[in-house]
A and B are shown apart, each in its own frame.
Chain A
Amino acid sequence: MRDFQTSGGLLRALHPATLTRWLVSGPPTAFMLLFFLAPSLIMVLASFRFPGAFGGLAPLIGAGRAGEDTGLTLENYQFFFSDWLYAEIFVKSLVVALVSTLTCLVMAYPLALLIARSPKRHRDLMVLLVILPFASNFLIRVYALMILLGPQQALASAVNGLLALFGVAPVNLLFSTFAVIVGMVYVHLPFMVLPLYTNLEKHDPSLLDAAQDLGANGWQRFWRVTFPLSLPGIFSGSALVFIPVLGMFAIPDLLGGTRDILIGNLIKDQFLGTRDWPFGSMLSIMLTLVVLGLAGFAARLGRRDRNEET
């Protein structure tokens, strides 16, 4: 009998449903463990180490080259908190990310609403148009923006001509925080439109009829029905824009001025410029903590809202 029981356990493990579950979830789990979790752990460890004399990392155990510290240290973190410069870059990056996200939201919402309320047969084409920019390389599109915003171009001339009317000195559109935000919004707009559209498209149109029937005008129908129901779409769209913008380095590099260094540039420089991997790892971890903190805060805010309503 005991034999049967043990083989019963084995049979259960080899049961088709169990087997299918492992076969389906196995590969992605393995991939994530290997290529996401492992590098993250390596990075955490690297943030507590010393830089190697010629870049990379100093050895963890044993002697390094001459004048090289080895082993573990809190020095990277101490250095971060010793200078306001880094906090300032973090705050500036957060502001740029926030402004970019809000601009995306304000621009994407009417567009998503328009697509969601169009006849079904037109929607697919409109969605295709929204994602069409992805068909060309992102860097090429940013270079195109450089040309468009360039000092001798029609746009800059028009803006400066207008400013001159009010006696304001001409400005440079390119290489400014303005250009950085334009680039961020341009590149990330589809990431805001798509989740919003997916949400808005699912709304039951009879809810708007009911609201109108019960006395709500167009403005009230939007703010009391459509908007609150679209909050999940707003949250996911905002996360999809805010987080990548926070870490983006190519756009500030190309469109920003010398004062437009953001976290992304700072981190990139640690790996490709100063070759201080431990400091770069520490910065990455700080960035991750900030993002997680904000996400947690947003989730808590959402929960409190819910509780107050009920």
Chain B
Amino acid sequence: MALLEIRNVVRRFADFTAVDGVSLQVEAGEFFTLLGPSGCGKTTLLRMIAGFDAPDEGELLLDGQSLRGIPPEHRPIHTVFQSYALFPHLTVAENVAFPLRMAKVAPDDIRRRVQDALEAVHLSEKQRHLPHELSGGQKQRVALARGLVNRPRLLLLDEPLGALDAKLREEMQMELINLQKNVGITFVFVTHSQAEALALSHRIAVMNRGHVEQLDEPSRLYSFPRNRFVADFIGKINMLEAAVLRSTAEALVLDVAGVGEVWAPALPAVAAGQRGMFAVRPEQVRIQSGEVAPAGVGHNQVHGRVLDFLYIGDVTTYLVELANGTRLEALLPNTAPGRAKFFEADDPVTLTWSSQVGVFLDA
């Protein structure tokens, strides 16, 4: 039985439907992420799990028991708020002790468990400080310790890294992964950052307009997006209109706008004549100098000129324009010794990609 089960949950507000028939299951011990743009319904869903809001239709079950009518204070579910919501008049130790006091834990136990929780987030030496004396990262850790100290069945995290700067965010991501592994508490994490979601989660539910578009492991979401929205939202991707020419057990042959015949991995459900999009990741497209001779059937290859490039340091993204004006992106790692750059704007190049990569999206 799943730890948390969400069954056909609908939540309507005056002028729009925030959550529109969401069903999903979160397993015990999982790091589960709700990912989507702002307004996709992920925060409304989180508030319903915490108990601050109730579904208009459907049901939420924890350990198979309905959560209907149970107020937040009686749910074994704690939240780490985006603003941290630390009590400004209480010290770090008192903040962490708060849920234990509410649960009427014995004072000796409280002291010991607060110490343990603060040690787990490396903040033992700050326990007598007030929240306003802490940095953003430290506040974040106090909020985490406070959420975990009473060992909830479920810890909800509402964009908890949003307020941190990039470097600190990366550090906290590592700590979150380790913390979750060590305490073994199930995390439900809400974010609009696909990079954060991919780095942290065991499974991700990609949400859009109140629906779950796709629920999968990070690597599968990235490699096998089910539709245009997921492909576009997660990572960078080249997307071109396409029609199916032939669909066989071995391969899918597409007519891609501006590119021509493209061979892609087989998709059993797709039939000839179907229209949709062909998508391929920039790092799957190989870029070579000059015009390379065609390698034969099944090898996707086009010629063009470098229009522009984006140098990031470890990699460079090249924007290549084909003779007919179609644009494709290709990624090249800057690994060659003694060379900072490979191509300049206007250089003639050849783009190739394997028939084993790329995906046809019919929706």
Contact = CB atoms under 8 A, between A and B. Distances in A.
Interface of A: 204, 206-207, 209-217, 220, 224-225, 228-229, 309-310
Interface in B54-99: 71-74, 77-79, 81, 83, 85-91, 94, 98-99
B150 interface: yes
Contacts of A214: 73, 78, 98-99, 102, 146-147, 150
Contacts of B147: 214
Contact of B83 (A206, A213, A217, A229): A206
B49 to A, nearest CB: 11
A220 B89 CA distance: 15
B130 A206 contact: no
Q: Classify the secondary structure of B's interface with A.
A: loop
Contact of B102 (A207, A220, A229): A220
B85 A215 contact: no
B85 A204 contact: yes
Given A204-B83, A206-B81, A210-B81, A215 B89 contact: no
Give the residue among B86, B91, B98 with the most A Cβ atoms within 10 A.
Answer: B98
Contacts of B98: 211, 214, 216, 224
Nearest to B103: A215
A158 to B, nearest CB: 42
B52 interface: yes
Contacts of A213: 50-52, 72-73, 77-79
B122 interface: no
Contacts of A212: 52, 71-73
A214 B83 CA distance: 15
Given A215-B103, A216-B102, A309 B85 contact: no
B282 to A, nearest CB: 40
B181 interface: no
A310 to B, nearest CB: 5
A217 B129 CA distance: 26
B60 to A, nearest CB: 15
Find the residue from B77, B102, B130 having the highest chain A CB count within 10 A. Answer: B102
B73 A215 contact: yes
Contact of B52 (A209, A228, A309, A310): A209
What 10 pairs between A and B have smallest CB-CB spacing?
A215-B102, A210-B85, A214-B99, A206-B85, A213-B79, A212-B72, A228-B89, A215-B73, A213-B72, A212-B73
B73 A209 contact: no
B128 interface: yes
A209 B158 CA distance: 13
Contacts of A229: 88-89
Contact of A207 (B72, B79, B85, B91): B85
A209 B81 contact: yes
Interface in B102-128: 102-103, 128
Contacts of A228: 89
